[in-house]
Amino acid sequence: MKRQLIAFAGSLVMAAAVVAAQGTPPQGAPPQTPPASPNQPQRTVPEAKTGQTADVVLTGCLIQGTGPAIFLLDNAKISANDPAEHAQTYMLKTDAEDVNFKTHLNHEVTITGSSMAMKAAQPPAGKKADEKDLPTLSAKSLTMVSDRCLSTR
């Protein structure tokens, strides 16, 4: 019960951070960081010129994009068990040598990284969004959750 309560509180803090990051600060204003909860360490926001937010932890299905070096995190959620949370797809990139997307294709994974502060454009009904329109997640670490994709929209 205590773990569930801590996980719920952490999910709320992360959701609030994502919502707060959706707004754009006035030009020349320094980026603001959400206040840290007692159960979570303070996270820093990279410089405003990068357009990236604080680190996020997302769980979803790692799939192949349209090219051999393009990878997507599909059905990505901050809280994989929250049916009210809307799943999103992210274009993945990494500079970390120890993050190998190819070995985890079609696996349920948890990825820690920084995300561009944007929401994907809504495609017409019945069609998927173009990869170029997806938000980018710069992966710092990857952990396999399952050897097959379990998440659904």
Q: What is the pTM of this model?
A: 0.60
In a domain, 82, yes or no: yes
In a domain, 151, yes or no: no
* pLDDT confidence tier of residue 101, bands split at 50, 70 and 90: very high
**Residues whose CB is less than 8 angstroms from the CB of residue 62 and which lie 6 or more positions away in sequence, other chains included:** 71, 72, 73, 74, 92, 101, 104, 105, 106, 107, 108, 109, 111, 142
In a domain, 101, yes or no: yes
What pLDDT shows up at residue 14? 67
Distance of CA 64 to the CA centre of its chain: 17
* pLDDT confidence tier of residue 36, bands split at 50, 70 and 90: very low
What pLDDT shows up at residue 138? 93
Domain that holds residue 107: 2-146
Q: Is 108 a residue whose pLDDT tops 60?
A: yes
Radius of gyration of the chain (CA): 16
Check residue 149 and report its DSSP letter. -
